[in-house]
Structure 1
Amino acid sequence: MKTNLTELVARVDAYAAKQTLPTEQTTARLRTLLSDALAKATTAEADGTFFVKTGDIPAMWLRDATFQVLPYVKLIKTIPALESFLVGVLRRELRYVQHDPYANAFNQTASGAHWSEDDSDVAVSDLVWERKFEIDSLCAPLFLALKLRENTTHTDYLDDEFWQTLDVIVTVFETEQHHDQSPYYFKRVDCPANDTLTNDGRGTPVGYTGMIWNGFRPSDNACEYGYHVPSNMFVVAVLEPLLPLMPTQFSSLKARIEQLVAAVKAGIATYAVVTLPGGKRGYAYEVDGLGHQKLMDDANVPSLLSLPFIGYTNIDDELYQHTRAFILSAQNPYYYQGKVLAGIGSNHTPEAYVWPISLAMEGLTATDQAVKVGQLEKIAATDNGTGQCHESVSVDDASQYTRDWFSWANMTYCELALDVIEV
């Protein structure tokens, strides 16, 4: 049955209108934003899939799109028609992965539009907007599929196309466990240093760890050290739950996944568990297998802050709690505190700018309801009267922000609001 987006928007708006959060401001913001991805970012395609642009950039990021539509998964029982919409988003993501598993963002059509025309001397498909290799781009569709599995009784989307795409994903992961043998590189000219890879596009040297090499962080900025720990944890979080769901005809793929997950977990335990400032054991953000570590966290998900949300660990896990205390302190170089905000930012945006995504994630990974509500209030109070959550906001002046419309941030606010409502 064809999904009518106009009707879906009306139903989501009607649902939002009935909800009440602890403050008038947070309630009003939910009612403004809950239909954002459906009403403003989504286009229905003739093949039954859906293109979801990231916001004020006309491309579909695999990661962003997953988190943009994720709140709607919670509403399927109330609005069953959302299921076919979400499956349509998933199918489009899978087909993009099949087209180019090293790309992070895609055009709606094969228009030839690219973020930059000077990325490298490797031919980039006309369907690809940007070809930055990010592990999370390949994990995101699997995460969406698992969330659908948790909230629906249908599993038609776990078909041959899904498992064949998973095979493509696993093949890339296996290749990038040995990045020195990989064909992938990324070079961009006339750009900031964090927007390209060093070493002739290969990135800084790494040693074998069992983990998967990653070119760019979820912020789209280059990794300083090649093993991005939260993304490798995301791999474990999405692959392990898929194992018992795999059909018998994919037994060979299942065995490869089991081997891959074991290697990644061993690599995390050996290289990513470190002594944090203050002397407690926790997780590094990046490592290289050669003795170097990056102790920090970034606002973009997957992050160390988000580990319980992505399903890697429990909130009360000791290593996570030690890590959380570190990254939510001034010891994290991207934790900023000012007159109006305190939270985690990114080297993707100006210094002393906090991301509403990280503020929402702080709430989503808290156990105290008052903390969750407090994070909602912070986000709603710093939109500068626009009704939008923005990409990042100055800690001292809410009128200073980046990006007028960033749908991922809007929908992560909604994710937290629905968590508070306990849908």
Structure 2
Amino acid sequence: MLIDRRTMLFATAALAVHPAAAAGSMYVSQRPKPADRKYHSPAVEREISRVGRMIADPKLAWMFENCYPNTLDTTVLSVTADDAFVITGDIPCLWLRDSSAQLRPFLHLAKRDKPLTALFRGLIARQARCVLIDPYANAFLQDPAARSDLPSSAHDQTTMKPGVAERKWEVDSLCYVLRLASSYWRATGDRTPFTAEWAQSARAIIRTFREQQRTTDAGPYRFQRRDIQPTETQLWGVGNPTRKVGLIHSSFRPSDDATILPFLIPANIFAAKTLRELAEVAQGARGDADLAREAATLAGEIEAALAAHGRMRLADGSEVWAFEVDGFGNALFLDDCCELSLSGLSFLGCAPADDPIWRRTEAAAWSDRNPWFVRGKAGEGLGGPHAGFDLIWPMATIVRAFSSNDDTQIRACLKVIRDTDAGTGFIHETFHKDDPSKFTRPWFAWANGLFGELMVHLASTKPHLLRAVI
């Protein structure tokens, strides 16, 4: 049976599964045997060896070896000349956001490794076809003719098309599609993936963003779900009222939780950034001046709306980016626990690391000003309604380490990450603030890859941090 994405998967006996880790003896690799690995890249294997040798902390080195190749080892179900299907882990579906992020740790190797080149080309092509099936869907099935059998989406009141696994409209899903394509283009200069079909999907993304500005009507998208949690549905299918100011409405957040105020600010910031990137790819890879102009024009509209409506003042009077707004002057301050968050804006290249408003925003998100900031015996971090109370998302901690230039803060993040794996050698969706042996999603490739990506990043930027036991 398929697993609901938000189902609790608490593993209370994790230490018994890996007694070697619990006993502090030799760390045994948790990778599948070579014959059982889904996909192989010689460049990735060399990178594991290179970076692994730099990590003095034995547990962090073990976790890096397990986590960095996890997407290739376990989630690449198929690769052909013009297709690749990459699942998120414990759910056998392709999330546009997750799959894009899962391949990102290998971008710097793609130009000189043929298997990675094929994988990136295939996923860019598959994502383009997914967008053309339904730009409002966030997750897709391997068989484009199949009907979803996810228990969570079986009775959703929305237009479910063949090939769609779940149809939660999240602005960031399409942003990650654009980011994957632009990042690959910048890393390789390879024009191969940027076909007429890709350009058609890019125009579908622009059209969908414009529909969800809702300047003339509510747009075509509706979604309601029969669920006891209000985070799983939208009021009357469209959400709370807004004043139409040029921002894009997002029905759901990157965590798959419903928005409260429909203008999700970090998603709109990311949309403007990735549209600018689309303009560069359209011109550079295809010579498509019209597509470049369409993307840049929409990016400019969103940027102007963000400048006018995207900020708020906290109780102490400090100005920060809001999390959600409605265009009427109402705003919410909290933060999501995924990459695409207020805290993650620098990591995603949407704000300079020394930008004063972003620094104030990130500091406030990692404080009691954020109702979903969690502190416990095992550490502190960001949580959210998706998994429930008292749960910390390691992903947000990894993003904080990426975004910081403070060695003390980075070491503190690494210690929390190292000490909250429950002896499994992998990164989970969440762990309990007082008891890391209680966690959700034992197989979550995005989080595993993000941790691996952090270690590769530190090997280049702060190798001295890896040369010491944390």
Same fold (TM over 0.5): yes
> Which of the residues 23, 40, 49 maps onto 1:17?
49
- CA positional deviation for 1:95: 1.0
- Go from structure 1 to structure 2 and tell me whether the alpha carbon gap of 1:335 and 1:7 turns closer, same or farther (over 3 Å shift): closer
1:176 aligns with 2:247: no
Question: 5 Å matches for 1:232-243?
Answer: 232-243=268-279
CA distance in 2, matches of 1:126, 1:59: 13
What does residue 117 of structure 1 align with? 154
> Which of the residues 136, 142, 148 maps onto 1:108?
142
1:391 aligns with 2:433: no
Question: 5 Å matches for 1:41-190?
Answer: 41-46=75-80, 48-76=82-110, 79-109=113-143, 110-115=145-150, 116-120=153-157, 122-178=158-214, 180-190=217-227
- CA positional deviation for 1:313: 1.2
Query: Counterpart of 1:364 in structure 2: which amino acid?
Result: F
CA distance in 1, matches of 2:108, 2:407: 19
- CA positional deviation for 1:45: 4.3
CA distance in 2, matches of 1:150, 1:415: 18
What does residue 360 of structure 1 align with? 398
RMSD: 2.0
CA distance in 1, matches of 2:256, 2:299: 25
What does residue 342 of structure 1 align with? 380
Query: Counterpart of 2:71 in structure 1: which amino acid?
Result: A
- CA positional deviation for 1:370: 4.4
What does residue 293 of structure 1 align with? 331
TM norm structure 1: 0.94
- Go from structure 1 to structure 2 and tell me whether the alpha carbon gap of 1:170 and 1:9 turns closer, same or farther (over 3 Å shift): same
CA distance in 2, matches of 1:317, 1:206: 29
- CA positional deviation for 1:48: 3.6
1:47-102, CA deviations, whole angstroms, 9 ceiling, x for partnerless residues? Answer: 64111111111111100111111101123356453122112112111110111000
SS at structure 2 position matched to 1:307: coil
CA distance in 1, matches of 2:379, 2:412: 12
4+ runs of 1 displaced by more than 4 Å? none
CA distance in 2, matches of 1:148, 1:368: 30
1:144-180, CA deviations, whole angstroms, 9 ceiling, x for partnerless residues? Answer: 1122123213232233222221100000011110174
With CA pairs under 8 Å and 6+ residues apart, which has the higher RCO, 1 or 2? 2
CA distance in 1, matches of 2:298, 2:309: 16
CA distance in 2, matches of 1:297, 1:7: 35
CA contact (8 A) 2:111 2:117 kept: no
1:283 aligns with 2:286: no
5+ residue gaps, structure 2: 1-36, 462-470
What does residue 222 of structure 1 align with? 258
CA distance in 2, matches of 1:228, 1:156: 34
CA contact (8 A) 1:9 1:35 kept: no
What does residue 192 of structure 1 align with? 229
What does residue 313 of structure 1 align with? 351
CA contact (8 A) 2:135 2:174 kept: yes
Identity %, equivalent residues: 31
CA distance in 1, matches of 2:367, 2:355: 19
Query: Counterpart of 1:132 in structure 2: which amino acid?
Result: K
CA contact (8 A) 1:187 1:201 kept: yes
What does residue 209 of structure 1 align with? 245
1:321-357, CA deviations, whole angstroms, 9 ceiling, x for partnerless residues? Answer: 1101100111111111111111111110121211111
- Go from structure 1 to structure 2 and tell me whether the alpha carbon gap of 1:236 and 1:87 turns closer, same or farther (over 3 Å shift): same
CA contact (8 A) 1:22 1:373 kept: no
What does residue 422 of structure 1 align with? 460
1:207-242, CA deviations, whole angstroms, 9 ceiling, x for partnerless residues? Answer: 111110101000111000000001101111111133
Query: Counterpart of 1:156 in structure 2: which amino acid?
Result: T
Query: Counterpart of 1:341 in structure 2: which amino acid?
Result: G
CA distance in 2, matches of 1:133, 1:269: 24
Query: Counterpart of 2:61 in structure 1: which amino acid?
Result: T
What does residue 403 of structure 1 align with? 441
SS at structure 2 position matched to 1:252: helix
- Go from structure 1 to structure 2 and tell me whether the alpha carbon gap of 1:38 and 1:347 turns closer, same or farther (over 3 Å shift): same
CA distance in 2, matches of 1:91, 1:276: 44
Query: Counterpart of 1:100 in structure 2: which amino acid?
Result: D
- CA positional deviation for 1:6: 5.7
Query: Counterpart of 1:348 in structure 2: which amino acid?
Result: H
SS at structure 2 position matched to 1:188: coil
- CA positional deviation for 1:305: 0.7
CA contact (8 A) 2:313 2:319 kept: yes
CA contact (8 A) 2:42 2:113 kept: no
Query: Quick check: 399-408 or 167-176, which moved more?
Result: 399-408
TM norm structure 2: 0.85
What does residue 267 of structure 2 align with? 231
What does residue 8 of structure 1 align with? 40
- CA positional deviation for 1:298: 1.1
